Amino acid sequence: MNKADRICGIFWLVFAVLVSIESYRLGLGTLYHPGPGFVFFWAAIVLGIMSLVILIQAWGSKNSEESGIHYLGKLSIRKIILVLISVFLYALLMEKLGFIPITLLLFIFLLGIVERKGWFFTISTSIVVTALAYLLFETWLKSQLPKGVLEFLRF
């Protein structure tokens, strides 16, 4: 936990410093008329102090503490990164491509490539899920999902 705590401690310390600078810039006001930065300035100071405590604890303690982070195997990291890429792309492309195409692509990617299931299963499941999701969200809940490239079909 020590290495992790050290990284976190530094991260939060930097964060606290940045917030306190920005809060100061916003204006602390006076005690009887506190400015927009008042509460956040002091909050950031407290945060900074606590991150220092974490850092000191991390540097001070011996390595006897059990490691809290189990280091990921190659396979797990691959999955997580692929899933993250797919969902970020989903978010970025959903309005351009539209709900139906992007959802199909997402499921085909996740089931077929990430999970490596058979193509028949992948494609049929993707179609079924997309159809059901469309019925649920667009038709029943009226969520107004993006039409994208299928605009012309006027679903």
- Listed in sequence order, the residues at least 6 apart from 49 whose beta carbon sits closer than 8 Å to its beta carbon are none
Alpha helices in 27-70, H assignment, sequence order: 38-60
Helices vs. strands in the chain: H and E counts, helices first: 5, 2
Residue identified by tokens 């102090």 is 49
Of 14, 61, 95, 113, the one binding other proteins (CB under 8 A) is: 95
Q: Tell me: does residue 92 bind other proteins (CB under 8 A).
A: yes
Number of residues that bind other proteins (CB under 8 A): 63
Q: Which of residues 31-90 bind other proteins (CB under 8 A)?
A: 31-40, 43-44, 46-47, 50-51, 53-54, 68-69, 72, 76, 79-80, 83-84, 87-88, 90
Degrees to nearest 5, angle at CA 56 with 51 and 61 = 130
Contacts of other proteins in 100-129 (CB under 8 A): 103, 106-107, 110-111, 115, 117, 125, 129
Select from 62, 136, 50, 63 the least CA-distant residue to 99: 136
CB of 154 to other proteins, least distance (A): 18
Contacts for 85 with CB less than 8 Å, ≥ 6 apart: none
Residues in contact with other proteins by the rule CB under 8 A: 1, 4-5, 7-8, 12, 15, 19, 22, 26-27, 30-40, 43-44, 46-47, 50-51, 53-54, 68-69, 72, 76, 79-80, 83-84, 87-88, 90-92, 94-95, 99, 103, 106-107, 110-111, 115, 117, 125, 129, 133, 137, 141-146
